[in-house]
Amino acid sequence: MASQAVDRGDLKSTSYEFFMLAMATLSIVNLPLAFLFPTRSQSWWLIAFVDAALTLVFAIDFFYRLHTAPSKRGYFFAGKGYLDLLSCIPGLRFFRLFRIVKAIRIVRQLGGPRVLRDLRRELASGALYFVIFVGITVLEFVGLLELRFEENAPGANITTAGDALWWGYVTATTVGYGDQYPVTTGGRLAGLIMLTVGVALFATFSGFLASTFLSPQKPTAAEGSTDLTEIRSLLDQQERTTAQLRAKLEQLEAGAP
């Protein structure tokens, strides 16, 4: 009964809950990480840009949960949705710790076997969430590494947080415009990491998408239930027709000389 309550209440999907757990963890990691760099330095701005993207994700998550909650008041107060709302405020990012606690609690209530079954069933959506999370993480940390080598290098063109994020995204998607490129050995090694991870992520995601759209769809439980109902109806009709024919045959036999 407890797992049913979780499944229909807080839990949207297991892969989604793991995704939000990972995003909240990344956000919490960024809190002390921002203090390692001088305020308003380019590395500090890069972390701030990533956190702005994470804040948008948390805001969308809050409104999604509020919209789909059986009781909006129940979600906001009894379900502690107000903590989700507070965690969307940049100055109150520490409230995202409660998102981590909530996600862990839900997963523990579901149990290990149930979680594994759900993740296997949600491979396509899980691949999408995985690509988004790893993509954001790699963009941030490889971007920081790139700035470390390139920001003050002679002739460098990756010198701002925006440059690092743009270069990272273009490199990860293998578009490669060539307008931003590393000029130092360390920067090029960071570029190798971005290229390798980017190709692997998009290849994995494309494979899951192809498998999802090209594999024959299995009938859902509702469709299977409908098929059984139709079969029973046809059998009942056939039995009634057989009984009527048998009665007619008996009448004809009784009246025969």
- The stretch 70-91 carries a mean pLDDT of 89
> Quick one: pLDDT at residue 215?
61
Is the confidence at residue 149, as pLDDT, over 90?
A: yes
Domains of the chain: 1-121 (1.20.120), 122-240 (1.10.287.70)
> Quick one: pLDDT at residue 2?
41
Span 162-176, pLDDT tens digits: 999 999 999 988 888
> Quick one: pLDDT at residue 62?
94
Q: Please answer whether residues 3 and 13 qualify as being in contact, where contact means their C-beta atoms are separated by less than 8 angstroms.
A: no
Span 89-123, pLDDT tens digits: 988 888 989 888 887 887 787 788 888 888 888 88
The residue type found at 205 is: F
pTM score, two decimals?
Answer: 0.76
Distance CA 70, CA 83 (A): 18
> Quick one: pLDDT at residue 111?
80
Give the helix ranges, DSSP H, for 69-182: 72-73, 81-86, 96-110, 112-121, 123-150, 161-172
Higher pLDDT, 61 or 206: 61
